[in-house]
């Protein structure tokens, strides 16, 4: 029990260091993995009676670097397609064509912007895409009368709607929970609907609160001629973000091949020559890997932490402690995870891209909750982290661009996001108990 308590204390200390930005997450996750193994008594190097490696250097650190390999490749291929969409003008055209549909009706323009952003981020990933999309969408929202803080919140909520159906994310969650992507999708459908409803409620509340008129001339600007996609080929090009989703979700095509089809599709309807297509293919690949870099480093850390907390020696130490605090009944499950959902902020213990990946693995290992129930609880909490965490790069950039305080965005969004998390936990409780 003493070792289990020391591990929890180590969790708290390293979490505090992350929250106060004393150490970055990419260092904190592998550090925590090593500390956990040392406290639990896992040897650094060693073999068992059968000659199988049991040391944490081999089974945790070395093996953990490739534990999320398939998810890492999904992120790279998704970022590759995202870069092609940005460089060929597909992203820009989708946004500005959407704004034109709204005409002189600010509410309609805002709602269409939400749909366009959500659609784009089912495929796009990384800060580069946030900057590309946000630098177009935010001025459009402000130009129709939406205050900067409201525009920032609406943009991030729309981003979160799309992220719910981002298949690169599904692949990551599939690896973390040890579930099929179809099982992830079956729950994310509910979260997609709930997040979209919450976004619409936010828009209506902000429009009424700020007295925004529902009709006047909205200067949405023109698309530059050189980047304007016209005719049937332009229309087909703008379908690009849907291609991987349809292939994966409905035709059961593996993730990376689905992204490759999306890449070929986008190039086919935007390139003027084979040579230009090959140049675009190469440059977008390099830029996509750069864009995906931060997520890849995080996933390496997540893989190392995951193997640390699922190590048999560590589980033996932690299970007695967790059995006393993790609920097994439906009501206790709802109360426990609904109250703890905000701990997904600041890379906390409910954050799947922080400490949460390890905690989720531990809870699944207990056997008191099904993997589906654990998945539902953590994906519900992920709603708060996805667009509410002030340490997210997308939140920091959006706040700077809109010239508002990043913590102000968190305060405005938290009531909506926490409500979303509670709804998700309740849905999970009735689906998986």
pLDDT in tens, 53-78: 889 999 999 999 988 888 788 888 88
- Does residue 121 sit in helix, strand or coil? coil
Confidence check: pLDDT of 213 > 70: no
| pLDDT at residue 359, as a whole number | 84
User: Beta-carbon neighbour count of residue 334 at 10 Å?
Assistant: 19
User: Beta-carbon neighbour count of residue 251 at 10 Å?
Assistant: 8
Residues 130-155: what's their mean pLDDT? Answer: 88
Q: How confident is the model at residue 425 (pLDDT cuts 50, 70, 90)?
A: very high
pTM > 0.75: yes
Q: Where are the domains of the chain?
A: 2-432
| pLDDT at residue 176, as a whole number | 87
Inter-residue contact 205 to 146 (CB < 8 Å): no
Could you give the residue ranges of the DSSP H alpha helices within 61-103? 63-64, 69-87, 90-102
Contacting residues for 265 by C-beta, under 8 A, at least 6 apart: 236, 237, 239, 240, 243
Which residue from 331, 353, 336, 335 is spatially nearest to 344, judged by alpha carbons?
A: 353
| pLDDT at residue 67, as a whole number | 85
- Does residue 47 sit in helix, strand or coil? strand
Confidence check: pLDDT of 277 > 60: yes
Which tops the pLDDT comparison, 412 or 128?
Answer: 412
The fraction of the chain above a pLDDT of 90, given in percent, is 36
pLDDT in tens, 340-382: 999 888 767 788 877 788 888 888 888 889 999 999 999 999 9
Tokens at 303, concatenated = 């893989």
| pLDDT at residue 25, as a whole number | 75
Inter-residue contact 341 to 389 (CB < 8 Å): no
pLDDT in tens, 297-342: 878 887 898 888 888 888 788 777 777 888 888 999 999 999 999 9
Which tops the pLDDT comparison, 188 or 17?
Answer: 188
| pLDDT at residue 336, as a whole number | 94
Inter-residue contact 296 to 76 (CB < 8 Å): yes
pLDDT in tens, 389-407: 887 878 888 888 888 888 8
| pLDDT at residue 347, as a whole number | 67
What is the distance between the alpha carbons of residues 431 and 218, in angstroms, rounded to a whole number?
44
| pLDDT at residue 400, as a whole number | 84
Query: CB burial class (10 A; 0-12, 13-18, 19+) of residue 430?
Result: exposed
Which tops the pLDDT comparison, 193 or 46?
Answer: 193
> What Cα–Cα distance (Å) separates residue 21 from each residue in 126, 127, 309, 346, 347?
21, 19, 24, 9, 11
Residue 239 carries which DSSP code?
T
Inter-residue contact 120 to 106 (CB < 8 Å): no
């Amino acid at each position: 029990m003493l070792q289990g308590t020391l591990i929890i204390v180590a969790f708290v200390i390293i979490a505090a260091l992350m929250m106060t930005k004393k150490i970055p997450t990419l260092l904190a996750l592998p550090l925590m993995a090593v500390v956990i193994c040392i406290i639990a008594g896992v040897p650094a190097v060693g073999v068992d009676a059968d000659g199988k490696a049991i040391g944490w250097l081999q089974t945790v650190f070395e093996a953990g670097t490739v534990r999320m390999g398939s998810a890492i490749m999904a992120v790279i291929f998704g970022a590759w397609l995202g870069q092609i969409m940005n460089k060929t003008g597909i992203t820009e055209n989708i946004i500005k064509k959407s704004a034109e549909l709204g005409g002189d009706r600010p509410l309609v323009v805002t709602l269409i912007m939400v749909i366009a952003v959500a659609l784009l981020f089912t495929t796009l990933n990384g800060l580069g895409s946030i900057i590309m999309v946000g630098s177009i969408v935010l001025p459009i929202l402000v130009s129709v009368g939406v205050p900067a803080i409201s525009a920032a919140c609406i943009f991030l909520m729309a981003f979160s709607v799309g992220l719910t159906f981002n298949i690169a994310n599904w692949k990551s969650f599939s690896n973390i929970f040890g579930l099929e992507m179809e099982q992830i999708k079956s729950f994310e459908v509910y979260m997609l609907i709930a997040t979209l409803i919450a976004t619409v409620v936010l828009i209506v509340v902000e429009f009424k609160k700020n007295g925004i008129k529902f009709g006047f001339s909205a200067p949405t600007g023109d698309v530059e001629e050189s980047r304007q996609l016209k005719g049937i080929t332009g229309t087909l090009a703008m379908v690009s973000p849907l291609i991987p989703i349809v292939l994966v979700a409905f035709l059961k095509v593996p993730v990376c091949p689905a992204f490759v089809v999306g890449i070929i599709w986008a190039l086919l309807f935007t390139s003027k020559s084979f040579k230009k297509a090959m140049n675009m293919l190469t440059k977008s690949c390099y830029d996509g890997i750069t864009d995906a870099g931060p997520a890849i480093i995080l996933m390496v850390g997540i893989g190392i932490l995951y193997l640390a907390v699922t190590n048999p020696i560590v589980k033996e130490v932690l299970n007695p402690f967790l059995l006393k605090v993790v609920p097994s009944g439906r009501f206790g499950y709802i109360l426990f995870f609904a109250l703890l959902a905000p701990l997904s902020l600041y890379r906390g213990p409910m954050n799947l891209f922080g400490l949460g990946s390890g905690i989720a693995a531990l809870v699944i290992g207990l056997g008191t909750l099904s993997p589906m129930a654990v998945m539902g609880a953590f994906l519900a909490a992920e709603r708060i982290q996805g667009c509410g965490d002030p340490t997210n790069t997308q939140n920091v950039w959006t706040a700077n661009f809109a010239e508002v305080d990043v913590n102000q965005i968190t305060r405005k969004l938290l009531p909506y996001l926490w409500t979303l998390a509670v709804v998700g936990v309740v849905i999970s409780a009735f689906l998986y108990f």
